[in-house]
Amino acid sequence: MASVSYSLGLFPIESPQRIVHLTKLAEDLGYSCVLIGDSQMIWREAYVILGAAALATSRITLSTGVTNPVTRDPSVVAAAMATLH
């Protein structure tokens, strides 16, 4: 029987401290992934928040939930994700 995994999607409208707290809580509750919405035009910087969450967690997968390739150059996205990895 296949196992079920759960992910949590967050929009970075909360303070970075709150997002990190929610990410740690999701990890403690057994979630497999936290996705942060990425829109540098209307929300806080997703990659900075992902970096802070990565420092506070150890097992959970962290990623952007969606990225706008029109306003976010793909090479910059690739570099940011490689840095986080």
Report pLDDT digits (tens) over 21-39. 999 999 999 999 999 999 8
More confident residue, 35 or 85: 35
Domain-located, residue 38: yes
Domain-located, residue 1: no
The total number of structural domains that make up the chain? 1
Domain-located, residue 54: yes
Domain-located, residue 2: no
So what's the pLDDT on residue 54?
95
Q: pLDDT at residue 73 above 80?
A: yes
- How distant, in Å, are the alpha carbons of 9, 17, 44, 72, 84 from that of 23? 10, 10, 16, 24, 15
Range of the domain at 39: 7-84
Domain-located, residue 50: yes
Q: Which residues on adjacent β-strands are paired with residue 2?
A: none
Domain-located, residue 78: yes
Is 0.85 topped by the overall pTM?
yes
- Note whether 42 and 76 are within 8 A (CB): no
So what's the pLDDT on residue 6?
95
